[in-house]
Amino acid sequence: MLTKLQQQPADKILALMAMYREDPRPTKIDLGVGVYKNAEGITPVMRAVKEAERRLVEEQTSKAYVALAGDPAYSDAMVGLILGTSVDRDRVAAIATPGGTGAVRQAFELIRNTSPEATVWVSNPTWPNHVSILNYLGMKNTAYRYFDAETRGVDFDGMMADLAGAKAGDVVLLHGCCHNPTGANLNLTQWQAVVDLLNDKGLIPMIDIAYQGFGDGLEEDAAATRLVASSVSECLIAGSCSKNFGVYRERTGLLMAVSETADNTGLTQANLNYLNRQNYSFPPDHGARVVTTILTDDGLRADWAAELEDTRLGMLRLREQLASELQRLCGSDRFGFIAQHRGMFSLLGTTPDLVERLRAEHGIYMVSDSRLNIAGLNSTTVPILANAIAEVGI
Ligand code: LMR
Regarding whether 387 and 276 lie in a shared domain, the answer is no
Instruction: Output the average pLDDT for the chain.
Output: 97
Q: What is the pLDDT of residues 127-143, one digit of tens each?
A: 999 999 999 999 999 99
Contacts of residue 233, defined as CB under 8 A and 6 or more positions apart, other chains included, come to 260
* 394 has a pLDDT exceeding 90: no
What pLDDT is stored for residue 218 in this prediction?
98
Last residue of a domain, one of 242, 275, 296: 296
State yes or no: is 304 an active-site residue. Answer: no
Closest C-alpha among 386, 368, 387, 365 to residue 376? 365
CATH number at residue 228: 3.40.640.10
Confidence at 7, pLDDT banded by 50, 70, 90: very high
Sign of CA dihedral 197, 200, 206, 209: positive
* 47 has a pLDDT exceeding 90: yes
How far does the centroid of ligand 1 lie from the alpha carbon of residue 16, in Å?
11
Question: For residue 50, is it within any domain?
Answer: no
Q: Determine the average pLDDT of the residues in 253-279.
A: 98
Q: What is the pLDDT of residues 60-110, one digit of tens each?
A: 999 999 999 999 999 999 999 999 999 999 999 999 999 999 999 999 999
Q: How many residues does the chain have?
A: 394
State yes or no: is 210 an active-site residue. Answer: yes
| Substitution candidate for ligand 1 out of 104, 129, 214, 244 with most atoms within 8 A of CB | 129
Give residue 114's identity as a one-letter amino acid code. Answer: T
State yes or no: is 127 an active-site residue. Answer: yes
What's the domain range around 359?
Answer: 10-45+309-392
Question: For residue 51, is it within any domain?
Answer: no
Q: By alpha-carbon position, which residue is closest to atom 6 of ligand 1?
A: 34
Regarding whether 350 and 219 lie in a shared domain, the answer is no
Question: Following DSSP, what letter does each residue of 361-385 receive, concatenated?
Answer: HH-EE-BTTTEEEGGG--TTHHHHH
Q: What is the pLDDT of residues 354-391, one digit of tens each?
A: 999 999 999 999 999 999 999 999 999 999 999 999 99
Q: What is the pLDDT of residues 169-221, one digit of tens each?
A: 999 999 999 999 999 999 999 999 999 999 999 999 999 999 999 999 999 99
How far does the centroid of ligand 1 lie from the alpha carbon of residue 332, in Å?
32
Structural domain total, the chain: 2
State yes or no: is 297 an active-site residue. Answer: no
Regarding whether 149 and 94 lie in a shared domain, the answer is yes
Query: Which residue intervals of 118-214 are DSSP H helices?
Result: 128-136, 156-163, 188-201
What pLDDT is stored for residue 11 in this prediction?
87
CA 390, distance to chain mean position in Å, is 30
Regarding whether 331 and 280 lie in a shared domain, the answer is no
Last residue of a domain, one of 296, 322, 356: 296
Of 96, 118, 166, 243, which is the active-site residue? 243
Question: For residue 3, is it within any domain?
Answer: no
| Substitution candidate for ligand 1 out of 33, 130, 365 with most atoms within 8 A of CB | 33
**Ligand 1 atom closest to residue 373's alpha carbon, by position in its atom list:** 3
Q: What is the DSSP letter of 250?
A: G
% of the chain residues with pLDDT over 70:
100
Angle at 168 between CA 165 and CA 192, to 5 degrees: 75
Q: In sequence order, what are the beta bridge partners of 97?
A: 253
Sign of CA dihedral 166, 215, 315, 242: negative
Question: For residue 4, is it within any domain?
Answer: no
Cβ atoms within 10 A of the Cβ of 311, count?
Answer: 20
Regarding whether 211 and 356 lie in a shared domain, the answer is no
Question: For residue 304, is it within any domain?
Answer: no
